[in-house]
Structure 1
Amino acid sequence: MPFVAPCRRLETLAPISWLACGWEDFKRAPVQSLTFGVSLMVVSWLLAWAAWTFGGFFVLIGLVSGFIFVGPVMALLLYSVSRQLELGRRPKLAHCLFEGRRNVANEALMGLVLMVVLLIWARAASMVHVFFPVGSGAIEDILLFLAIGSVVGSVFALIIFSATAFSLPMITDRQTDMITAVITSVNAVLRNKPAMAVWAAIIVLGLLIGFLTAFLGLAVILPVIGYATWHGYRDAIDASAWPPHPDPRRPSTS
C-alpha cells in the first residue's frame, strides 16, 4: 500500500461546489440531518448555559474552542449518510452506527489525539488569561486578550484542520489506518492552500453564524458542512489503492 493517498489539484473556489453538494445531501436526508443538527444545538445550549453559570465568558470561549476540536469526530455519522446516498441507498441511522462501530479503533485514536491537543490548548488558554487583567473592563485590555488568544488558538486550529480535513472521511470510505489518513489529509491541505483557505473561511463563517443565532443555525449549518466535507474528500483524494469498506446492508425494499 502507498504511504499516502495522492491528491488532486483543486480550484480555489472548489469548496463552493462542496457546499452546494452538502446542501443537496441535507435535502435528500432531512430527518437524519436535523436529528444530528438539533442534537448538537441542544448540547451547545447546555454547554453555554453551564459555562455562563459556573465559569463566565472565558470558560465559554474555551468551550467554543473545544467544540471546534471535537467537531470532526462527531461528524462521522454525517459522512456515513453521504456515503449511503452516494451508493444510491436510503440513509439509515442503524447503518451509520454500524459504520461508526466498524471504525471504532481509528476513531478512538483520533479522539485521543484531539483530546490531548485540546488539553494543551486549554493550558495555553489559561496562560493567555494571565495577560488579561482580572476585573478590568478597559476595551484595550479586552482587545489585547482576544488578539493573543486568537493567535494561539489559530495555531492549534490549523493543526487540527489539516489533520482532520479529509482523514475521517477517508477512514469512513476505505480500509486504511488513521496514520495514513492523517498524512494524506495534511498533504492535501498543503498542496491546495488557496482552496483549503477558502474552505476554512467557510467553516469559520458558518460557526460564527451559528453562534450569533444562539446556536439555532447550527442545526442546519453543521450537517451541511459535514456533507460538504465528504464531497471535498471525494474531489481532493484518490484513495482507490485501498479497498472500500464492504456494505453489508441489503438493498432497501421500501
Structure 2
Amino acid sequence: MPMVNKVTAGDITASLKAGCSDFIAHPYMSGFFGLFFAVFGLLLVWSLVWLGKIWMIIPAIVGFPLVAPFAAAGLYEMSRRSQKGESFGWSDILTVMANQRKREMGWMAFVTLFIFWVWMYQVRLWLAITLQDASFSDLDGFLNIVFFTSEGWTFLAIGTCAGAFLSTVLFTVTVVAMPLLLDREIDFVSAMLTSIRVVTENPAVMLIWASIISVTMLLSMVPAFLGLIFTLPILGHTTWHLYQRAVSPAEE
C-alpha cells in the first residue's frame, strides 16, 4: 500500500499555483478537456428538455461534477509528463487515456457512474414522496414548486443532505485514487483505500479542498457551463500536484 503523507493548507496553495502553471503552459490542450466537459453538460440539459424530463435538469446539473474526476484523466497525464520534463502532443495524451480502459481506471469509472446513478435515483424517489401529484410541465413550473412551496423546501432539504453524503463518499474514495491509478500499477480497491486514508488522516485540509472544488464547479456551470473550460483543467492539474504531495513516491 502506498504511504500517505500529512498535507497542509499550504500544500493546496502550492498545488493550485502548479495547476495554474500547467494550464498556462498548455492552454489549448487543457482547455479542450474543459470544453468537452462543458459541451457534454449542455447536451445533457438539452436532452432532458427534449425528452420532457424537466424535473431531472437540476439534479443532473448538481450531480454533473461527480463524474469530473474520471474526465480529468488526460489532465493528470499532462501534469505528470510536464513534471518530468517530457514533451508530449495530442496523440500521446489521447493514447494514454484510451489505454486506461485496459487498466483499473475502468473500475473507478464504474464506481463514479454508479454513485451518479444512485444520486439520480434517490432524487426521483424523494421527488415522488414529497411532491407526489405535482405536475412539471416546464422548468418555470418546476422551479416555482420547488422553491416556493413547503413541499418543495422539504424536497430541497432532503436532497441537499443526500447529495452532500454521496458527494462526500465519492470525494473520499476518488480524490487521489484517480491520479494514483494513472501513475502506478495498482488495483482500484487499494487506490480507493489509499484515498480514504488521505482524507481520514487530513480531514480539515481535505475538507477545504472539497469545498474549493464544489464551489468552483457549481459557479462555473452558471454561465451555460462555459466556466468549466477554464476551471476544470485547473482543478484537474491541481489534483495531480496535490496527489503528489499526499502520497509518497513509489519505492524503486
Shift of 1:13: 4.8
CA distance in structure 1 between the partners assigned to 2:2 and 2:250 by the alignment: 8
| 1:248 match | none
Shift of 1:175: 1.9
Give a deviation string over 1:126-185, Cα, whole Å, max 9, x none: 111121251473343332211110101111111110111001111111122211111101
Q: Does the C-alpha gap of structure 1 residues 139 and 20 become closer, same or farther in structure 2, counting only changes over 3 Å? A: farther
Write out aligned runs for 1:53-92 (5 A). 53-92=50-89
Root-mean-square deviation (Å) = 1.8
| 2:13 match | 16
Shift of 1:72: 1.1
Aligned counterpart in structure 2 of residue 175 of structure 1, from 185, 203, 209? 185
CA distance in structure 1 between the partners assigned to 2:39 and 2:100 by the alignment: 26
Residue identity matched to 1:51: L
Aligned counterpart in structure 2 of residue 225 of structure 1, from 221, 235, 239? 235
| 8 Å contact from structure 1 (residues 210, 218) kept in 2 | yes
Divergent runs of 4+, >4 A: none
| 1:47 match | 44
Give TM-score scaled by structure 2 length. Answer: 0.88
Percent of aligned positions that are identical: 27
Residue identity matched to 1:88: G
| 1:98 match | 95
Give TM-score scaled by structure 1 length. Answer: 0.87
Larger CA deviation: 79-88 vs 60-69: 60-69
Shift of 1:17: 2.4
Q: Which has the higher helix share?
A: 2
> 5+ unaligned residues in a row in structure 2: which ranges?
136-143
Aligned counterpart in structure 2 of residue 189 of structure 1, from 195, 199, 212? 199
Shift of 1:66: 4.0
| 8 Å contact from structure 2 (residues 60, 120) kept in 1 | no
CA distance in structure 2 between the partners assigned to 1:120 and 1:42 by the alignment: 24
